[in-house]
Chains A and B, each alone.
Chain A
Amino acid sequence: MALLEINNLEVHYGVIQALKGISFEVNEGEIIALIGANGAGKTTTLHTISGILQASSGNIIYDGKDITKMQAHKIVNLGISQVPEGRRVFAQLSVLENLKLGAFIRKDKDGIEEDLRNIYERFPRLEERKNQMAGTLSGGEQQMLAMGRALMSRPRIILMDEPSMGLSPIYVSEIFDIIKSINKDGTTVLLVEQNAKKALSIADRAYVLETGKIALSGDAKDLMNNDTVKKAYLGE
């Protein structure tokens, strides 16, 4: 049984239909890439899974449970965490306060301290800047903070929305290495990216979204060699 199962999901913004019945699944331990152009419905998909947006039909099954109508703050409790597009760190709060907010749903003080140490180990720059306001960090550091913050809830699956957006090439490679290592440590990853080449290079499987529908799907390696994908998304 898949960890996350999306069935015929439809989402509307007023009269505009953003998702026209998409279905896909994410198995425990996988990295799944969701690629596609601007406006294809990638962010809408992640926001609907997280409960920020409501589906107009279809359902989302997580760990055997229907979470389609569940409120966002309860979904986090189940082990689904999101690194939102544009990082959306709390700019006026310190790095440490941001990380603590990531652990908002948890009550195990020792566990939180332990995870904080792990995150500082993974992102040493966050420890150096722990008392600095998050808004003063560089784009790459903010991305690390957003990832660290999402990890603080100890998720089983982490949804990442355009983690490489607006970053310098050096940071992009670093961020993708981090995603791989997060996955290696046991967290399932659903990755939304415009940088299709990078996304496919680390993913197990991938789905290609085109204006609210899934146009293609398969093993990431196969998709990388697919002529349509090459033309439309890899610029070859």
Chain B
Amino acid sequence: MSFISNIIDGINLGSIYAIIALGYTMVYGIAKMLNFAHGDVIMIGGYVLYEIIQGLGYHPLLAIFLSMLVCTVLGVVIERVAYKPLRGATSLAVLITAIGVSYLLQNVAQLIFTSNPKNFDSGIDFGTISLAGGDLKIKGSTILTIVVSAAIVVGLLIFIKKSKTGRAMLAVSEDKDAARLMGVDVNKTIAITFAIGSALAAIASFFMLTAMPNLTPTTGSMPGIKAFVAAVFGGIGSIPGAFVGGILLGIIESLSKKYISTTLANAIVFLVLIIVLIFKPTGLFGKKIKEKV
């Protein structure tokens, strides 16, 4: 039973990675850039949750809503101020800027909230479900995390396929200038993508802190990098890929911690990425890019 409960823990962790990875993969797919500050948006979302629930004593649902709002605005502002002026610049310049934004957010958080860890407690009792005569216990929060993450993926897929904005996103992702010729406002479409990714970061933040309550200014960076690994693992740019990559990564991490070594778990996660990239450079769901001559 402990094996199954480890798998379930892994899926829980993986669902969180998946929600974060969606932000990476959508931004990459549409703006063709790696937003390394994405993990730090999660951290800011976490402080908003903490301050509203434990500082001001408001209801967690209100806190989640406000955290989504703050993260959305933050994501759009970051894109407008830091990345938009670099449209057309080399990808290295954009990457370095993103890393700079990441450190900026961490240091601003440190100034405001200090680097003392805060212990997050949403105050919600999710309960526990006992299965197999009490041998297998599953936390309610675990089930909620998995369900919400799956619902987000399905929702996004429908949104992209069916809505006008979604179709604009697909067009921008394939060919920005051709999209412009259709009347698509490319800057607006990229801003919407950042808004969606950042709102999802706030949701990820809630589930992450529910599972791992320790909140510091660097809380977002490791999950951020791992979610990036998950996105690459699944095939960057692919929404189902981000989900599957996230879940697999969570399971691998959870099982490595249990059966190999807690300290080596992260190393194993990155090793798996390297192996996948050697044998399938485009990731599990990555599209083969055909070069037309």
Contacts and interface: CB of A to CB of B under 8 A. Distances in A.
Interface in A70-116: 71-74, 76-77, 81-82, 84, 88-93, 97, 100-102, 104-105
Interface string B271-293: 00000000000000001001000
Interface of A: 50-52, 71-74, 76-77, 81-82, 84, 88-93, 97, 100-102, 104-105, 135, 149-150, 153
A45 to B, nearest CB: 15
Interface string B145-184: 0000000000000000000100110110011011111111
Contacts, number: 68
Given A52-B181, A73-B184, A101-B171, 10 more contacts: A51-B180, A52-B177, A81-B181, A92-B287, A101-B184, A104-B164, A104-B168, A104-B171, A104-B184, A153-B183
B180 A105 contact: no
Contact of A149 (B167, B182, B290): B182
A132 B244 CA distance: 27
Interface in B178-212: 178-186
Contact of A104 (B174, B183, B287, B290): B183
B178 A84 contact: yes
Interface of B: 164, 167-168, 170-171, 174-175, 177-186, 287, 290
Contacts of B164: 104
B186 A88 contact: no
A102 B167 contact: no
Contacts of A50: 180-181
A42 B175 CA distance: 21
Contact of B182 (A51, A71, A91, A101): A101
A90 B186 CA distance: 15
Given A100-B167, A101-B167, A104-B168, A90 B178 contact: yes
Given A97-B167, A100-B167, A105 B183 contact: yes
A90 B181 contact: no
A76 B183 contact: yes
B282 to A, nearest CB: 14
A5 B179 CA distance: 25
